[in-house]
Amino acid sequence: MTLAMQGVGLQLNGVSLLEGIDFTVKGGEILAILGPNGAGKSTLLKVLSGECEPSQGAVMFNGHPIREWPAAERARSMGILPQGASLDFPFTVEEVVMLGRTPHDSGQRQDAAIVRKALEAVDGSHLRKRLYTHLSGGEKQRVQLARVLAQIWKDEGSAGEADDPVRYLILDEPTASFDLAHQQLTLDLVGRLASQGFGVVMVLHDLNMAARCASAMLLLSCGRMAEYGLPHRVLTPATIRKVFAVDALVQPHPLTGNPLVIT
């Protein structure tokens, strides 16, 4: 069970936005996508999630072209957090997170329990009865993340492993509005989900943050793959200079051994 891009390209109005994108993410893996502004990171996620149709190549989801999956079934297996997700209706936080349960038919009691667990996972239980429109930017982002988690939550009544497709999280800059503590909480949460068999694809800007949690990295430059592979193979001074035009020192982190980029 995988999520894969196979030779994907995208052209709009005669402009090439993506070209030759190839990668595979399995359950339990975390792929971090990085690159300078305008490299095509968010566009790649839109194609990966099925929002945009590629001009070339294919996106495969659990063995089938993503467009062949019925929308409701795909929504139960793939949760997407876009950049700057917003909502202008005065719903309570609990109601916003409950929107993630829309593709399911699991019953009000179980849905309410999953909503509580999703809010706990993002340190948002205390926000449950507040109006979403009254929250800070970081609080809204945590609520949106909880909504996505509730959408793909593996409830106790789910099918057995052989019949239950791998669930995927697609996150576009999930920590952008967070303080340091909630950045760490989010990365720890992503790591726990991967250890439970979820596949994760996320756009990040911070190279060190990505190196801490990713099992693989994809560096984009002008819509093309500049480097793809294990973090210690991707994060080299030469690659960082080529992609970001920055001179950097890369050495093992003294606590984790992961690549540590110093600029």
**pLDDT digit string, tens, across residues 215-258:** 999 999 999 999 999 999 999 999 999 999 999 999 999 988 99
pLDDT above 90 for 163: no
**Which residues have a Cβ under 8 Å from the Cβ of 229 and sit 6 or more positions away?**
216, 217
Region 175-197: what's the mean pLDDT? 92
pLDDT at 161: 45
Edge to edge, what strands does the sheet with 224-229 contain? 78-81, 168-172, 199-203, 30-34, 216-221, 224-229
Contacts 24+ apart (CB under 8 A), 231-234: 231/32, 231/258, 231/259, 232/258, 232/259
pLDDT above 90 for 162: no
pLDDT at 1: 76
pLDDT at 156: 56
pLDDT at 89: 85
pLDDT above 60 for 160: no
Query: Considering the entire predicted model, what is its pTM?
Result: 0.92
Region 53-71: what's the mean pLDDT? 91
Structural domains in the chain plus CATH codes: 2-262 (3.40.50.300)
Query: pLDDT of 87-124, one tens digit each?
Result: 888 899 999 999 999 999 889 999 999 999 999 999 99
Region 67-95: what's the mean pLDDT? 88
Least confident of 24-33, 61-70, 181-190, 191-200: 61-70
pLDDT above 80 for 84: no
User: What is the average pLDDT score of the chain?
Assistant: 92
Region 18-41: what's the mean pLDDT? 96
Region 66-75: what's the mean pLDDT? 89
Task: Determine the 3-state secondary structure of 27 from DSSP.
Answer: coil
Classify the C-alpha dihedral 197-203-206-208 as positive or negative.
Answer: positive
DSSP state of 73: H
| Orientation angle between helical segments 137-152 and 180-195, nearest 10 degrees | 10
Q: How far apart are CA 128 and CA 151, in angstroms?
A: 17
Task: Determine the 3-state secondary structure of 106 from DSSP.
Answer: coil
pLDDT above 90 for 128: yes
pLDDT at 164: 67
Region 11-16: what's the mean pLDDT? 93
Q: How far apart are CA 194 and CA 236, in angstroms?
A: 25
* Residue 225, H or E segment: strand 224-229
